[in-house]
Amino acid sequence: MKKITLLEFAVVLMMLVSLSACKKVFDIQPEDQLDEANAYQNVYDADAAVIGIYGKFMGLAEQYVVLNELRADLLDVTANSNEALRQINTHTVTENNPYASPKPFYELILNCNDVLAHFKVMVQDKKMNEEQFNQRYSDIAALRSFLYLQLGIHFGDVPYVTSTLKNVDEVKNAANFKRIPFNALLDSLISNTETIPFKEIYPSGSGLNITVDGYQTQKFYINKKVLLGDLYLWKGNYQKAADYYRQVMEYGTTAFGFGEDFYSYYKLGWAGGHNHYVSYGRAGDASTLTYNDGWRVIFESAYGSNSLNREWVWVLPFDNKFKPENSLIKLFSPIGGQYLVRPSQEVYDLWDGETQRPAQGTSIPYDARKLLSTMNIGGQPVAMKYLYNYINWATGTAATPLIKNGKWFLFRQTHLHMRYAEAANRLGKHRIAWALVSGGFAAAYPAPTSDVTNYHNTLAEPYPFNFDARNSGNSGVPYYRADWYRQIGIRARALVTDWQISSDSLNTIEAGIIKEGALENAFEGTRWPDLLRVALRKNDPAFVADKVYNKLVKSGISAGAASAARAKLMARDWYLPFKW
């Protein structure tokens, strides 16, 4: 058997679609692939299996975005949309709707089960050592938990299958695989994910953390601690959720020496040359909004760049040289795509309801993230976040329409901060939540003098709520530059005015966090889960029903259809039919 070298693995790494499934991938045998009979012989074979799983996972990008965004209030259909998309939009899904099929998720889950079983045999047979096994097994097990979380969010009661099966259609056999309630599914996912032996990111230079053609593979893989934070947040264990999120927020502090990365990596901190702020060439002059730097470049930054690494926790690249094709261009783009979905009027209204921070005596009466997240191309509103590596922001055209590069965004530091804030707020840490999402720790805990010893921090709180953001300025005595001193709240970074906290801080801040998720993270695949999670927690179906209703009314759909969608959601009919 030809053994795969590290260089050859780099080739395999970039051939994601060729390794698109753990069983079927081995049906074809080009030089740099393995047939199943000879597979799983060494760690390089194991690495190829891991990359194969992620190759097939990328094939879920379109379904993931459609289910998580179009079911909610920020994305709408276009005149080009097919019936399947219109059903998703109006919550009238029929059993044969391809976007609502759980089958692609289960196909990948069964691939994961197969790989996990082979990995156990490999370590027993000493074909990889325990450390190699721990890393690769943990990754696939965590990705499987993520897939099951998505199934629970969209289908509610689902079969939980961890064994290997020959045929995905066996999952439909209710006698063998009974559906378990979403809440019980969360228990199983937490239990299994907590027991994985490796929860850190891969060390630099290890087999799964290399750089190939500018693609730093570290960002390919699911972050296990973020996943556990999400699972605990859904379950209502806010202490454990905050604990895991905080560990990721401190990644820069633990992984780097002193410097900009130490102070800013996943801390929403400013950094020279990598400031993801909303800004203007002339303060207060709306016509000078900065496009070639700042907040918009979060979505255009080159893979492997420091700009991308500071913002993104999990992001996968689409490259025209390799499959799968970029399905998100088909979904969103009127150039080289089918333009099937568009920003809703509701999200425009949310942005227009904000006010920017005063500058030179004037305030701009809208959130500039509107202009940085969308464009008008040929008279059509376009959600641009997935398109900035394809359509030029300045011209609104694709220089090379056949080269459809891009990224699938899965998790970034603003998701991290808002979900931590959601958990902290539920534990009564309202001002900490305000600091993270609104104006930053210095604004939340201001100092009356240049001595910030007892200010700009929450050190009186126990971990994971003990933040030190002390910054005394150059003339301050004593001199402080604490770990979080560069942190700036999400709204401050976006240049919109601070929240005003009411007496009902918990509910006000929770609603504000979810709204800020719309303003900051629109179209990124988090909206329906955010709405559903809070509706379940509060036992308030109107939390999701009213938002969907408002979108549909503003879209021009019939009043009857909008009311029917609202009535369905008010009846807690939140889940898709489990059919394929």
Q: Taking a C-beta distance cutoff of 8 angstroms, is the pair 137, 113 a contact?
A: no
Q: Taking a C-beta distance cutoff of 8 angstroms, is the pair 111, 140 a contact?
A: no
- Quick one: pLDDT at residue 18? 37
Q: How far apart are the first and last CA of the chain?
A: 39
> What's the token pair of residue 310?
């500071």
> What's the token pair of residue 300?
């255009």
pLDDT at residue 189 above 70? yes
Q: Which of 105-119, 163-177, 248-262 has the highest mean pLDDT?
A: 105-119
Enumerate residues 6+ apart whose C-beta is below 8 A from 181.
156, 157
- Quick one: pLDDT at residue 16? 37
Work out the pLDDT band at 175, boundaries 50, 70, 90: confident
pLDDT above 90 covers a percentage of the chain that reads 83
Which CATH code of 1.10.1760.20, 1.10.3720.10, 1.25.40.390, 2.40.50.140 fits the domain covering 6-224?
Answer: 1.25.40.390
Peptide bond into 181 cis (omega under 30): no
Work out the pLDDT band at 481, boundaries 50, 70, 90: very high
Across the chain, mean pLDDT equals: 92
Other Cβ atoms closer than 10 A to 352: 13
Q: Mean pLDDT, to the nearest integer, of 281-286? A: 94
- Quick one: pLDDT at residue 324? 92
Other Cβ atoms closer than 10 A to 113: 20
- Quick one: pLDDT at residue 73? 98
Using alpha carbons, select from 139, 317, 131 the residue that is nearest to residue 217. 317
Enumerate residues 6+ apart whose C-beta is below 8 A from 285.
none
Other Cβ atoms closer than 10 A to 137: 22
- Quick one: pLDDT at residue 339? 98
Domain ranges of the chain: 6-224
Other Cβ atoms closer than 10 A to 277: 15
Interior/surface letters 177-213, b for 16+ CB within 10 angstroms, e for the rest:
beebebeebbeebbebbeebebbebbeeeebbbbeee
Residue pLDDT, tens place only, 407-438: 999 999 999 999 999 999 999 999 999 999 99
- Quick one: pLDDT at residue 29? 37
Instruction: Report the C-alpha gap between 267 and 247 in whole angstroms.
Output: 11
User: What is the DSSP pairing of strand 312-318 with strand 215-216?
Assistant: unpaired
- Burial (CB count within 10 angstroms: exposed 0-12, middle 13-18, buried 19+), residue 556: exposed
Work out the pLDDT band at 490, boundaries 50, 70, 90: very high
Using alpha carbons, select from 156, 157, 195 the residue that is nearest to residue 177. 157
- Quick one: pLDDT at residue 35? 58
- Quick one: pLDDT at residue 11? 40
Residue pLDDT, tens place only, 18-52: 333 333 332 333 334 445 657 899 999 999 999 99
If one compares 330 and 258, the residue with the highest pLDDT of the two is: 330
Total length of the chain: 580
Interior/surface letters 394-431, b for 16+ CB within 10 angstroms, e for the rest:
eeeebeeeeebebbbbbbbbbbbbbbbbbbbbbeebbb
Q: Taking a C-beta distance cutoff of 8 angstroms, is the pair 522, 74 a contact?
A: yes
If one compares 25 and 68, the residue with the highest pLDDT of the two is: 68
